[in-house]
Amino acid sequence: HIFETVVEYGMFAVGGAVGFYSGNVKLLMEDIAALKPTIFVGVPRIFQRVYDRAYAGISAKKPAVANFLLRKLQREIEAVRVGRHTVWNRVFKKIFRKVMGGHVRMMISGAAPLPSHVHEFLLATMGCPVIQGYGMTENCANATIQAVDDHQLNVGAPMPTAEVKLVDVPEMNYTTDQELPAGEVCMRGPTVFAGYHKNQQATDETLVDGWLHTGDIGRWNADGTLSIVDRKKNIFKLAQGEYVAAEKIEMALSKSRFIGQPWVYGNSYTTMLVAVVVPDFEALLPHATANGWDVSSKEALVAVPECKQLLQDEMAAMAKEAKLKGFEVPKALVLEGAVNELGQGFSIDNDCLTPTFKLKRPALLKRYQAAVDEMYSSLGEGTVAKNLGQYTPVSTDEVKVAEVPPAAPAAQAA
């Protein structure tokens, strides 16, 4: 991954040492504690694991003690939001920094957006800067990075090697004439690639007049930093004419500590969204055990009705928190219990993730076609997804072709 490559080269360039985990993901936190890193670099999934481990530890204490600690931790998080700390900051640092070996001076997250609740938790408990940056393989991961004293939820200001501009996306109501300009993030500079190998069409679509079009929607903040707020790609239209950005919804749902990997699906033949969710079992198993659910296997657990209800409630709560519109909230849900040692139900090995860990939507639809059809049948929309043959996301440049097609002959006859 380009993020890992750039970080390693950067550390070697300044004479630093790089440590790697032992290879057993179940011992990841033990490996970190043994390594005692001073700079910890990871992807959001790793920081989510730290978050889950911390909350699981608190929840394992006696109810009175757990509730007391959770209240104090929440107050510390609220103080962090305004750049302050409570008297409990030293206590939390002493407790939680041990998880990271006790020597960490800086944490850097990349490759995907760090959920806000995890970011705030790390700032409240680790006693060190938690930095996010923004970039992609096509520009050697160099675009923006946060200052070490920036505690806000953004990806920082442009680096010296990158020019960054925003381009209007009117169909999504993102324009640069707003008080806080918003639009598709475009960048250029010496780190931007020359093009895709033997793929001129993709190159021409991505590089326009020297500007790399990322497909991400950004917003300039008042202090000159950039926030990534949405995704231009993977937009589709529902049958009633509403546009949906699947990645925006998936990002919102991922903020739940019980939701590991969500995939949201819809198309121009349907009026509602459905979802397949891989639970975060590290957070879910303690909760399930405490409630007496069947935890004999992960497949057995996801079959428990109360488990499905919990995940549905979590989806509703995250949708409300993100202020999603009603049509953006999935109306049916299937849980995936078959996961690998990383806790992934969607992985590179089963062809559901790209090498840069993005969802492969056509592959996901093929894999879960029967489940998608069943969900739509339960919603009274028939097995409409099956009629599509395969998933074809609607390009924002081709929205006019996404109209609802005429009824099939069989339907007309009926």
- The answer on 7 and 120 residing in a single domain is yes
pTM: 0.68
Residues 373 and 339 in one domain: yes
CATH number for 173? 2.30.38.10
Could you read off the pLDDT of 173-209 as tens digits, one per residue? 889 999 999 999 999 999 999 999 999 999 999 999 9
Strand, helix or coil at 413?
helix
* Domain-embedded: residue 395: no
Looking at the structure, do residues 196 and 253 belong to the same domain, yes or no?
no
Cβ distance 120 to 97 under 8 Å?
no
Asked if residue 264 belongs to a domain, the reply is yes
C-alpha R_g of the chain: 22
End of a domain among 231, 249, 265?
231
Q: Are 217 and 255 found together in one domain?
A: no
> Could you tell me if residue 326 is inside a domain?
yes
Per-residue pLDDT tens digits for 68-99? 988 999 999 888 888 888 888 888 888 888 88
225's CB contacts (< 8 A; 6+ apart) are 144, 146, 150, 152, 154, 155, 156, 157
Domain end, chosen from 199, 231, 263, is at 231
pLDDT tens for the chain, residues 1 to 414: 788 888 899 999 999 999 988 888 778 888 988 999 999 998 887 888 788 878 878 888 888 988 998 899 999 988 888 888 888 888 888 888 888 888 999 999 987 778 788 888 999 888 889 999 999 989 988 899 999 888 888 899 999 999 999 999 887 788 999 999 999 999 999 999 999 999 999 999 999 999 999 988 999 999 999 998 877 767 787 888 788 889 889 989 998 989 999 999 998 778 899 999 999 998 899 999 999 999 999 999 999 999 999 999 999 999 999 999 999 999 999 999 999 988 899 999 999 998 777 888 889 999 999 999 999 989 887 654 444 443 333 333 332 323 333 333 333 332
Do both 311 and 288 map to the same domain?
Answer: yes
Which H helix or E strand runs over 262? strand 259-265
> What pLDDT, on a 0 to 100 scale, did the predictor assign at position 4?
86
Q: Is residue 36 part of a domain?
A: yes
Q: Based on the fold, state whether residues 179 and 251 are members of the same structural domain.
A: no
| The domain boundary residue, chosen from 110, 128, 146 | 128
Does residue 141 belong to any structural domain of this protein? Answer: no
| Residue 404 is assigned to a structural domain of this protein | no
DSSP letters for 117-164: HHHHHHHHHS-S-EEEEE--GGGTT-SEE--TT--SSS--EEPTT-EE
239 and 226 both lie in a single domain: no
Q: What CATH number does residue 266 fall under?
A: 3.30.300.30
Which residues span the domain enclosing 284? 235-381
- Residue 412 lies inside a defined structural domain of this protein: no
SS (H, E, C) 302-371: HCCHHHHHHHHHHHHHHHHHCCCCHHHCCCEEEECCCCCCCCCCCCCCCCCECCCCCECHHHHHHHCHHH
- Write down the number of H helices and E strands in the chain: 15, 15
Q: Are residues 341 and 249 in the same domain?
A: yes
Cβ burial 172-209 (10 Å sphere, 16+ → b, else e)? bebeeeeeebbbbbbbbbebbeeeeeeeeeeeeebbee
In terms of domains, do 375 and 260 share one? Answer: yes
Q: With beta carbons less than 8 A apart as the criterion, state whether 299 and 338 touch.
A: yes
Are residues 27 and 165 both part of a single domain?
A: no
What would the two tokens of residue 187 be? 């960048």
Q: Is residue 292 part of a domain?
A: yes
Let me know whether 247 and 376 are in one domain: yes
Same domain, 337 and 359: yes
Query: Which residues, other chains included, contact 108 with Cβ-Cβ below 8 Å and sequence gap of 6+?
Result: 7, 39, 40, 41, 42, 131, 132, 133
Strands 211-220 and 207-208: antiparallel
Count of domains in the chain? 3
